[in-house]
């Protein structure tokens, strides 16, 4: 099977694989080459795959997204993903990258709260 992991800005990963394990909203599942065509919404977690040639294992940390298997093509489309050669490296990369996102999200929420409070205060002044 051909695995392609897409994020909004690029094709993150493209590999020939013999199996793929992912986690959907109904639990985890495994796809093999002769699996029926399949579509599943994915939750944030790990994709685990085994490459076809060398049998090398690979991991991709993903945000929520969609998986589509059609014939021998498996396409995963997610908002954010990180590929790591090993689980330990992937954990470090995810901690760095998503820690920054958490800080940015906190700042955005804080700014939105201030805007809402200011809007309500000005609205009350109109009365």
Q: Which fold has domain 1-85?
A: ATP Synthase; domain 1 (2.60.15)
pLDDT of residue 2: 96
pLDDT of residue 40: 95
Contact 40, 29 (CB under 8 A): yes
What average pLDDT does range 40-50 have in this prediction? 92
* d(C-alpha 91, C-alpha 121), whole Å: 44
What's this model's pTM, rounded to 2 decimal places? Answer: 0.73
pLDDT of residue 102 exceeding 80, the answer is: no
* d(C-alpha 19, C-alpha 52), whole Å: 8
- The secondary structure element, H or E, covering residue 116 is helix 87-126
Strand partners, 28: 23
Contact 20, 30 (CB under 8 A): yes
pLDDT of residue 100: 65
């Amino acid at each position: 099977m051909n695995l392609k992991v897409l994020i909004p800005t690029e094709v993150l990963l493209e590999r020939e694989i013999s199996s793929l394990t992912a986690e959907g909203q109904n639990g985890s599942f495994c796809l093999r080459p002769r699996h029926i065509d399949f579509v599943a919404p994915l939750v944030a977690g790990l994709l685990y795959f085994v490459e076809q040639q060398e049998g090398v294992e690979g991991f991709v940390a993903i945000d929520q997204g969609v998986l589509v298997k059609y014939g021998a093509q498996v396409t995963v489309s997610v908002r954010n993903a990180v590929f790591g050669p090993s689980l330990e490296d992937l954990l470090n990369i995810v901690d760095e990258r998503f820690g920054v996102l958490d800080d940015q999200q906190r700042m955005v929420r804080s700014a939105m709260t201030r805007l809402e409070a200011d809007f309500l205060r000005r609205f009350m002044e109109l009365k």
